Structure 1
Amino acid sequence: MTEAQGPCEVSWFSALCDDDYEYLGVPDDRLKSSWEHCRNIALAAEDGGFDNILLPSGYQLGIDTTVFAAAIAPYLKRLKLLWATRTGEDWPPQLARRIATLDRILGWNAERTGGRLTVNIIASDLPGEKLPSAARYQRATEVMHILKTLLAGEHLSHDGEFYQLNLEPMRVGTLSGKPPLLYFGGLSDEAREAAAVGSDVYLMWPDTMSKVKENIADLTARAAKHGRTLRFGYRVHVIVREAESEARAYADKLLSRLDAATGDAIRNKSLDAQNYGVQRQAELRGAADGEGFVEENLWTGIGRARSGCGSAIVGDPDQVLAKLQAYRAAGIDAFILSGYPHIAECDLFARHVLPNIDHAPF
């Protein structure tokens, strides 16, 4: 990692979507998504020194992201929130007002240069409907444009495929008077174009180093065609132990009570279970060696019991740090990390790896 890159953002993950286990695929009442448990994950991330925390959103899974974000905000003194919202489930002007309100509840960052809310835009269907991929991403592109216009305090005149709006901005905007950073992901051609046109941070799920570099080059070129630049984020699990053998043994333990049928059922719960990103995670599992590693220190076993982000960086502190630094050298600006159970792994990463990373919130 070169000094010229500056600090990266390091975030943790609060398991709002029924995604916390001691043994993957085995429900545990102590780790169910609840206000208390997810609050404690966020507090552990703040205590551990993380910059931000992803609050995921899933229609069929867990607890409501917006209500949780508003409730946790007064508990946090420094941590930012990366609040996920599903574009198929909201009306953009109301969404803009909700974002501005959450931004004000969270308050200023330490430098008082902006608020502490960032937004993960998900190009979702409305539950019960099924739009073609191109239409979903077109709708998401329109939503991002509407949000950025209204949250910049500008008049909106929008005549799109999905929304026709002529509006003044809300009376109450964000603390800075600017829109928050929009994080966005997706591997299809339509998703990449939506990200290039409307997002600020393009998010990737785990992949081989060569594919990560390929995706960064592709999105950089696409954004440049629109006169824009992007930052790049990487969402991945971690298993860090004092010795590599201990980390690999723990990875094996995580899967020790999982059967194939249970894993299939968990993956298929998500409304997004058939998208390009999920298919790519399945390809990685298929390309892995007999122990589930698709390349050095990147283990694909998580995806046997999870739809979406399905791999983990596994190793000792030096190996995990070296892997993150390699991603940094490739162009990654932000990491969204998690591990099982989330509070325990948060503490391990915070003690063994985070102090050695040059990091700060965006």
Structure 2
Amino acid sequence: MTVSYPPCEVSWFSALCDDDYEFLGVPDPALQSSWAHCRDIILSAETNGFDRILLPSGYALGIDTIAVAGGVAPLLRRLRLLTAIRCGEVWAPQMARQLATLDQMAEGRLDINIISSDLPGETLDSAPRYRRSIEYMTILRDLLNGRPVDFHGEFYTLDIAPPRMTGFGGKAPLFYFGGLSEAAREAAAEAADVYLMWPDTIEGVRAVIADMKARAARRGRTLRFGYRVHVIVRETEAAARAAADRLLSRLDPETGAAIRGRSLDVRTAGVAQQTALRDSAGTDGFVEDVLWTGIGRARSGCGAALVGTPDQILSKLRAYQELGMEAFVLSGYTHQAEGDLFARHVLPRLAHAPLSRFGGA
């Protein structure tokens, strides 16, 4: 019997944070983050038919997210932008005005990846940091929806009218949000639209989705779910595994550890879970069929990849869909070449469409 799967959102990734390699951990000037390199990845994702592009955010590494989003928005005709922002980096009313302008430039094809990590130069415990993020998201959503804000919280006190320019169509962009700590889960249940997970086993994914559905339901809310993972797709399983081995073939362990330690997110529960996942893998780096943790040897965040044939990758993505995943944010090394391969071998076989703030897909 043929199973019919609903459309899912399929996104690619532009390496704004110096995260593009032919050999993991070996810098290549031609792949270093620059306007030209990141723009080309984004334009390739549009040509390849992806629904959305994730523009990540860093401080010590790479180039600025909002500036790139503004630069690329007029160049796109269909691709949506998933633009990362760090809560507190910019005063919420100013951020609302900035995002509303970007949303107009992108003709409504803008959504936001909310990040709640420490800000540059700051260290704040997890619980208060996520409480601050809830306040920030609440204020931001109201202003982008065109509502005045009279807010008196633990971190923000303000009484302000919304900017003249609201989100496109008078509605705020979708808020994508991730995190595994107790405080992060509560923040997502309270204020996010799409809960975005890093790689985990099938059972791990099932447990987190069930938990997050229950937390949202207690607030009279619903969440949609997304999955962030790398991919290595080749025509044969042997070729895919050989590509994975080649990616790590020049990685020095000390260099990998240094790369993992550079991120502002290095102490989060999500990063700890990726480390635990890697530690539980077999000697070949696979923690279950298709899911390979080798990428985490030189990456602090999303640390696993789906490695296999087009049929194997497609089967794994559909297994995640059966658990409730509606969106996938994918990447690979090099980002442009692997995006081309995924678009050729897997994307045409997936029914896909972008999630919408206005209902429907």
8 Å CA contact 1:88, 1:125 repeated in 2:
no
Correspondence for 1:110:
none
Correspondence for 1:199:
192
Correspondence for 1:65:
65
| Residues 1:25 and 2:25 aligned together | yes
Equivalent residue letter for 1:254 = L
TM-score (norm 2): 0.97
CA deviation map 1:295-343 (0-9, x unaligned): 0000000000111000000000000000000000011010000000000
| Residues 1:187 and 2:206 aligned together | no
8 Å CA contact 1:56, 1:65 repeated in 2:
yes
- Which residue among 204, 207, 212 is the counterpart of 1:214? 207
Q: Secondary structure at the match of 2:17?
A: coil
| Residues 1:321 and 2:343 aligned together | no
Counterparts of 1:313 and 1:181, CA distance in 2? 26
Correspondence for 2:149:
156
Counterparts of 1:183 and 1:2, CA distance in 2? 28
| Residues 1:297 and 2:263 aligned together | no
Equivalent residue letter for 2:185 = R
| Residues 1:226 and 2:223 aligned together | no
Q: Secondary structure at the match of 1:37?
A: helix
Unaligned runs of 5+ in 1: 108-114
Counterparts of 1:2 and 1:93, CA distance in 2? 47
Question: Compared with structure 1, are the counterparts of its residues 85 and 2 closer, same or farther at alpha carbon in structure 2 (3 Å cutoff)?
Answer: farther
- Which residue among 238, 256, 269 is the counterpart of 2:262? 269
Deviation of 1:175 after TM superposition, in Å, equals 2.1
8 Å CA contact 1:89, 1:124 repeated in 2:
no
Deviation of 1:155 after TM superposition, in Å, equals 1.5
Counterparts of 1:158 and 1:22, CA distance in 2? 48
| Residues 1:350 and 2:343 aligned together | yes
CA deviation map 1:201-242 (0-9, x unaligned): 001000000000000000000000111000000000000000
Within 5 Å, give how 1:1-362 maps onto structure 2: 3=4, 6-107=6-107, 115-362=108-355
Equivalent residue letter for 2:150 = S
Deviation of 1:2 after TM superposition, in Å, equals 5.6
Percent of aligned pairs with the same amino acid: 64
Counterparts of 1:126 and 1:46, CA distance in 2? 31
Equivalent residue letter for 1:42 = I
Deviation of 1:124 after TM superposition, in Å, equals 2.5
Moved over 6 A (4+): none
Q: Secondary structure at the match of 2:195?
A: strand
8 Å CA contact 2:88, 2:136 repeated in 1:
no
Equivalent residue letter for 1:329 = E
Q: Secondary structure at the match of 2:137?
A: helix
Q: Secondary structure at the match of 1:173?
A: coil
Counterparts of 2:294 and 2:226, CA distance in 1? 21
Aligned residues: 354
Counterparts of 1:42 and 1:131, CA distance in 2? 34
Q: Secondary structure at the match of 2:63?
A: coil
Deviation of 1:148 after TM superposition, in Å, equals 1.1
Counterparts of 2:89 and 2:167, CA distance in 1? 22
Correspondence for 1:112:
none
Counterparts of 1:75 and 1:152, CA distance in 2? 26
Counterparts of 1:154 and 1:286, CA distance in 2? 47
For the aligned residue pairs, the C-alpha RMSD in angstroms reads 0.9
